[in-house]
Structure 1
Amino acid sequence: MPDTFHAVCPACLAVNRVEPGKIVQGPTCGKCHGALLEPHPVTLTAANFDAVIGKSGLPVLVDFWAPWCAPCRAMAPAFDQAAATLFGTVILAKLDTQEEQDIADRLHIQGVPTMVLFRGGREAARVSGAKSASDLAAWTRSHLG
């Protein structure tokens, strides 16, 4: 891992430099002092999607979901658990496709739940269907190498 990487503040969208060894200490944003990285999913919206995906130094795994989707709701605890498991190596995020239809259309999300792994602002891998926390972590790690 590099000496530092960029982390986008989910609150103010400021780009911050973070030392990997300080992740467990809970780094805060230099601008708004909010938490930069936490062991649970970040909520993505049209306002922060492009910044978080495009400027994050860590890979970002996005769960595209909808509130009416029973498998999405059933998988939510597993996604939270995977966020804790992958904390420090991958940012996990959730995007409500019902609220953010333009982003879902732009990325050709045709069914939910769909998980997309982004690296360097580009899609690296995609998988659909509800997964367990261990399956999510294993799938994500298999695409990081």
Structure 2
Amino acid sequence: MDKLNVVCPFCNKINKIPKKESYNVANCGNCKESLLDTTPIELSYENFDHVLVNSDIPVIVDFWASWCQPCKMMAPIFKDVSKKYPLKVLFVKVNTEKEELIASKFMIKSIPTLIIFKQDKEVKRVSGVLDPLKLSNFINENI
């Protein structure tokens, strides 16, 4: 059976899990937390590359800042849509105020900007607020 590398959103350990269409239970072998938790996780310079390099599932990154009103509008939409993709897409956030090195590495010029990565490679990006349907379509077209 094929295996997937999944980075635990709680402890950052890499888990090898059987590749399936859907999962009823999938817990981290290290911290025992659920790998099915879809709550977007905040990444930093210390763990950003680790998550991208070691995730076999696509990663969508929301580049945002606390002062940005469109980012504040996008945050609940990003969180709600994430619930539809347990172990299909990993939803993460990067605060561009705190993580300037990451923002400059990816040449983030406006926020919010969403980037989908597959196997550590940028697949597609979009800037601005997306409604739930447009966000779902953006994800489905690029994973």
What's the TM-score, normalizing by structure 1? 0.89
Listed as ranges, the gaps of 5+ residues in structure 1 are none
Change (3 A) 1:39 1:13: closer
For the residues of structure 1 that align with 2:83 and 2:22, how far apart are their CA atoms? 12
Mapped partners of 1:92, 1:34: distance in 2 = 17
SS of 2:80 mapped into structure 1:
helix
Aligned to 1:39: 38
TM-score, normalization by structure 2 = 0.91
Give the 3 Å change call, closer, same or farther, for CA 133–20 of structure 1 in structure 2: farther
Q: How does 1:88-103 map to 2 (within 5 A)?
A: 88-103=87-102
Please report how far the alpha carbon of residue 87 of structure 1 lies from its aligned counterpart in structure 2 after TM superposition.
2.5
Tell me which residue corresponds to 1:50.
49
Equivalent residue runs for 1:62-141 within 5 Å: 62-141=61-140
Q: 1:96 to 1:134 in 2, by over 3 A?
A: same
Measured after TM superposition, the shift of residue 48 of structure 1 is: 1.4
Number of equivalences: 143
Unaligned regions of 5+ residues in structure 2, if any?
A: none
* Identity percentage of aligned residues: 34
Q: CA RMSD in A?
A: 1.8
Task: State how far apart, in whole Å, the 2-side matches of 1:3 and 1:62 are.
Answer: 26
User: 2:35·2:87 contact (CA, 8 Å) conserved in 1?
Assistant: no
Which structure has greater helix proportion? 1
- Which amino acid in structure 1 is aligned with residue 57 of structure 2? L
